[in-house]
Amino acid sequence: MRIECRDLNVRFGAQTVLDAVGIDASDFRAVALIGPSGAGKSTLLRVLGGLLAPDAGEVRIDGQRVDFSERALLAHRRGVGFVFQTRGLFPHLTAEQNIALPLVHVHGQSPEQARETAHALLARFSLDQDAHKRPYELSGGQNQRIGIARAIAPRPRLLLLDEPTSALDPELTAEVLDMIHELQADGQRMVIVTHEMGFARRACDQALFLADGRILEAGASADLFSRPRTPQLQGFLRKVLEWVP
């Protein structure tokens, strides 16, 4: 899989959120998107997921240019799974329905087929006892894992995760990261915005460092973490790793 971005620009009013972002990531398993808050990480992820059209620039996935017309985006989103930071489920639906409803209405599965897919996924991640519970009855970690299960249910070629653990306590964070790691092992390609530096370094083979709307460093995550070149990344790592043993 290859993701290329050229001269991506996103502005919200007078504020430039993404400034001439260029990416060329290929042959990766997982890309960690790291950087300080407000750097534009979520915005970049939303552009990749087809939830936000850039003001300028282009995105290519496996060489194919993403058409940001609303009509074409419907097709693009079908091939991409998206996991939100928090409250990513539909509150009026059970866990099973959250997974099955898009399968039926977007991916053309029959209701029985979709229910089976949902059950198989929930069972795989030991969530089967939660199949008929609604989000409010579930822990934050369970909510996130069900959100991830929903995102991968249609077998997307790319999974995008937007700080999937930043609203969780450490124990639940571990349970969600374990699930994501298991998906990586299965060959699920992904881009993950995360503040879990241990996970970014060890579980993701590539990394992008974004600051002030610009990509400042990109490459193998081992290199980024052990040999940061820019003062911005050096400073960022010093801060986030300060209390890491």
Residue 101 lies near other proteins (rule: CB under 8 A): yes
What the block records as the tokens of 218 is 């990109």
Residues 183-202 that bind other proteins (CB under 8 A): none
CB 52, min distance to other proteins, A: 9
Q: Rounded CA gap, 138 and 21, in Å?
A: 38
Q: What residues pair up with 162 in beta bridges, in sequence order?
A: 193
Residue 102 lies near other proteins (rule: CB under 8 A): yes
Query: Of 233, 205, 204, whose CA–CA distance to 217 is shortest?
Result: 233
In contact, 33 and 224? CB cutoff 8 Å:
no
Which C-beta is closer to other proteins: that of 63 or that of 71?
Answer: 71
Which of 74, 120, 123, 241 is in the footprint of other proteins by CB under 8 A? 74
Which C-beta is closer to other proteins: that of 160 or that of 211?
Answer: 160
In 83-135, where does DSSP find H-type helix? Answer: 95-105, 111-124
Size of the site for other proteins (CB under 8 A): 23
Which C-beta is closer to other proteins: that of 52 or that of 197?
Answer: 52
Q: By CB under 8 A, which span of 1-9, 100-108, 123-131, 230-238 interacts with other proteins?
A: 100-108
In contact, 54 and 208? CB cutoff 8 Å:
no
